[in-house]
Structures are given as C-alpha cells and as structure tokens.
Structure 1
C-alpha cells in the first residue's frame, strides 16, 4: 500500500483527498477530506516519531535505539516540528554555544556541527 501523496508533483501545493473506497463492499464516498499533519511526514520522520514516543521522549533512549547522536536527535525533532508547523522561534545564541561546546569536547564532528549550525 502506498502513502498518501500530500503535495502536487507539478506545483508542490497541498493536494486534497476526494474519494474513499471500501475494499470489502466497494462502497465509494466522494467528498473533500482533510489530511492529517502527520501525513506530511516522510516514512523516516514517522519512524523517528514512533521511536520517540515509544521511548517516552527520553532522548538518551532514542539515541540508543536509533544509534544516533544527541545533536542528530535534536535536529530530527526540529525538522519534524517545522514540518508539523510547531517550530518555535528561539534565541539561537545558546544553541550555537552548545554546538560549539560539543565540538570542542569532541562529542560531535565538525561536519555535524556545520549541519546543526545551518539548521539554526
């Protein structure tokens, strides 16, 4: 089964679901149906959300489960929040300082630091 396409491949505007069909009795319902915010997430993002929820929001557990670093977990959370329209504007100074401290302490690579700084 395929995931619902939420953006038009031609103009990238949001698409609408107009028809539903029961595979058992062939009942067809036509109308304009809404798409959930979560339908906009990629399979990878949905998998991350499932792991995050299964870990009850514990970032250390998410790191272990997915085998990724703390900055990567934070980056994925920020990306998903942005996609869901939940992104909060923040003072990036503290975030930049944290990234630089992690780099200085060799907790992350310079490439990871660059990617995190670009996301701010």
Structure 2
C-alpha cells in the first residue's frame, strides 16, 4: 500500500524536505535536497477539488453540478486552494457589484429622461 508523503514534521510542524529518491525496479538512489510538488502538500479533499475543477475546465457551473454544491461553496473551496498554494485571493465581486448597481442607476435615469445620452455615457465611462 502506498501512502501520501507527509509534508510537515510530526514533531515540530515545520516543512519537510525530500532528500532521497529511489527506483524500486533497479534500486538506484539519488540523494540531495529536492523541491516537493506544490500540489502534493494540499489536503486530499482540496486535491480532489482541483482535479474536478480541471476536469470541468474551470467552469464553476460544471463544478457545481459535478460535486452537487452551490456556487458560493465552489468559490470558497477555490479561494481556499488558491490561499493554500500561496497566492493572494482578490475580491473583485463587491467592486463589480457596486459598479453594476451604479450603471443600472445611470441607465434608469437615462430611461426616465433625467439624463441625456451624452451625460449617461460620460458617467458610465467614469465608473
């Protein structure tokens, strides 16, 4: 039975480094300080999620269907994996929602005749 290699020291919790690689067929051994795979340090659940995400070609809707979870749950899991891999999670959703709301308000004013097309265009450009 093969086990997943531990990524943390069981004594102090520090990152472990790979120092020896062996060929089971010919018994060749190579020693050194090797960089482990970044994805190998992910918990099994996160790795399974990444596999489904790749299988679905990054389509959140397809991931929702495949895993039977909601859009916010998919986003949350994706953000957790992004953080685990050491990247910054950006939160453009709130900014985009605010811009959409402002754009809708401008278009409403335009449709009511409160703004000219030129004024509406200028305001939307400045968002």
TM-score, length basis structure 1:
0.72
Shift of 1:90: 3.7
Shift of 1:31: 0.8
Unaligned 5+ runs, structure 1? 98-120
Distance in structure 2 (CA, Å) of the matches to 1:68 and 1:91? 22
Structure 2 equivalent of residue 103 of structure 1: none
Structure 1 equivalent of residue 66 of structure 2: 65
> Following TM superposition, where does structure 1 have runs of at least 4 consecutive aligned residues deviating by more than 2 angstroms?
87-92
- Helix, strand or coil at the partner of 1:64: helix
Distance in structure 2 (CA, Å) of the matches to 1:68 and 1:82? 20
Distance in structure 1 (CA, Å) of the matches to 2:89 and 2:64? 23
Give per-residue Cα distances to partners, 1:63-94, cap 9 Å, x unaligned: 000111111101100110000011235478x2
Instruction: Give the length in aligned residue pairs.
Output: 95
After superposition, the CA RMSD in angstroms is 1.8
Structure 2 CA distance for partners of 1:59 and 1:90, relative to 1, 3 Å = closer
Structure 2 equivalent of residue 53 of structure 1: 54
- Helix, strand or coil at the partner of 2:20: strand
- Helix, strand or coil at the partner of 1:68: coil
1:78 aligns to 2:79 (yes or no) = yes
Structure 1 equivalent of residue 125 of structure 2: none
TM-score, length basis structure 2:
0.68
Shift of 1:42: 1.1
Structure 1 equivalent of residue 23 of structure 2: 22
The structure whose Rg is larger is 2
Shift of 1:2: 1.1
